[in-house]
Amino acid sequence: MKLSALVEHIQVEVLQGDLDTEIADIACDSREAGEGSLFICICGANVDGHDFIAQVIEKGAVALITERRVEAPEHVAVLQVEDSRYAMALIAAAWYGHPADRLRVIGVTGTKGKTTTTYLVKSILENAGYKVGLIGTIETIIGDKKIPSLNTTPESHLIQKYFSEMEKAGCDCVIMEVSSQGLKLHRTAGFLFDIGIFTNIEPDHIGPNEHESFEEYLECKSRLLRQCRTGIVNADDIHLDQIIAGHTCRLETFGFSEKADLRAVDVKLVSGRGMLGISYRTEGLMSFPVEIDLPGKFSIYNSLTAIAICRHFSVSEEDIIRALKNAKVKGRIEMVKVSDEFTLMIDYAHNAMSLESLLTTLREYRPHRLVCVFGCGGNRSRLRRYEMGEVSGRLADLSVITSDNPRFEEPQAIIDDIKVGIGKTDGKYIEMIDRKEAIAYAIHHGEPGDIIVLAGKGHEDYQEIRGKKYPMDERDLIRDILEEDRN
């Protein structure tokens, strides 16, 4: 493809070289640059692509996208742009032939609920006969292929590659999680979402490597409503006015508010035989009863969002009801049946905010005891450990403190930090470094009416120790424990 075709919609300054240069590949990682490639110099948090120019030219790169003037041989085309990340998104879209134009693309942003909502939508649409691609925190799904994720929202060139593969695999539509970082770094530039979803927003991801302030975090989230045709937003969120400010899309709302276009009413908690759920009725744009085997108010929001999206695909009420009843999301309030007398679930809650939300929700079911099995990651903020310890000590009847991903720290030192937080409460606790042993203890000591939560690992199927990832899936641990009990 000609360089001119790749930069057709980008404002560039040609510092040297020829726009008729033939491009054989595009790359933003110097290790992936090769003969005839266009190398895009990205200024990252830790690495600057401009520092690798000599290396990629030696490997055969024939064109560069830069943010400043650089030294390069005469035969190499050098194009300067204001923002190389934004340029990369548009170049990637052109390189793969703009596949998003032939797919219906749904983007979900928000502090909480993105992952669950995407899987609910996928379940409903597939139940109605659509072929759906998914890009998210856990994985990317293209037909039968599943690719583990490194970022919630991949780099723009990878998004376009996935779109292209989804189109070839016969997908009708794509549902993807859109992170604030993805929007801030232009990973989703170069195409228009058919539907953009705003679930909710709370202070999160504020720090030196993410967002300078809550205001900046909020502004980045709001960009999705300027990159979509139809926006579907949570009418109950206190920051709604700021989120929709400057929107360029047609808006719809969902929530509990009487002003919402799609509303949840007649909410009831459902429990029994080791399962928890919720039932309600929709009003407004659609009207029918819903029952889901996922607990809590946030499950209503997630399912209501999914219904609001699938309405645009002309999915029948029967298909929606059936799909929601059977939907499961790995590691997100995922119930694992071990007994008819008590409930066991796995959840990704790995910070104080998400753990407090989860445990508060589960207390509404009035359990005999609420038991929380959790640990904290190594080489991360010690403050998070104090906070999670305090939350579990305050809200759980028993905390079973164990190991998460200790990384390069000693598991006992992490547990000792968690105990500092629990010490601020009257909460009871025991400690067991071995996670399987901790889970076995919780199962073997389960009492009728208990709710047991395994928090922190969620969808992860490994444990990271001393720089190495060892296979460890809590579902497998539970299966092994039950098998050992039978033997």
Element at 234 (helix H, strand E): strand 228-234
- Residue carrying the six token digits 């099995």: 373
Q: From residue 459, give the alpha-carbon distance in Å to each of 107, 249, 330.
A: 21, 34, 5
- Rg of the chain in Å (alpha carbons): 24
User: What's the CATH number for 3-95?
Assistant: 3.40.1390.10
Summarize pLDDT for 461-473 with one digit per residue, the tens.
999 999 999 999 9
Handedness of CA 333, 252, 290, 449 (dihedral sign): positive
Summarize pLDDT for 191-239 with one digit per residue, the tens.
999 999 999 887 554 555 565 677 888 888 899 999 999 999 999 999 9
CATH fold for the domain made of 334-486: Protein-Tyrosine Phosphatase; Chain A (3.90.190)
Which residue, among 259, 228, 221, 264, has the nearest Cα to 242 in the 3D structure? 221
Please list the rounded mean pLDDT of every run of 10 residues in the chain (487 residues). Answer: 96 96 97 97 91 97 97 96 97 98 97 92 94 96 95 95 98 96 94 96 60 80 96 96 95 97 97 93 97 93 96 95 90 94 96 94 97 96 95 98 97 98 98 98 97 96 95 97 95
Q: Centre a 10 Å sphere on the Cβ of residue 193 and count the other Cβ atoms it contains.
A: 25
Domain ranges of the chain: 3-95, 99-326, 334-486
User: What's the CATH number for 99-326?
Assistant: 3.40.1190.10
Q: Phi/psi zone of residue 186: left (φ > 0), alpha (ψ -120 to 50 degrees), beta? A: left
pLDDT at 209: 58
Q: From residue 174, give the alpha-carbon distance in Å to each of 6, 106, 143.
A: 24, 6, 11
Common-topology check for domains 3-95 and 99-326: no
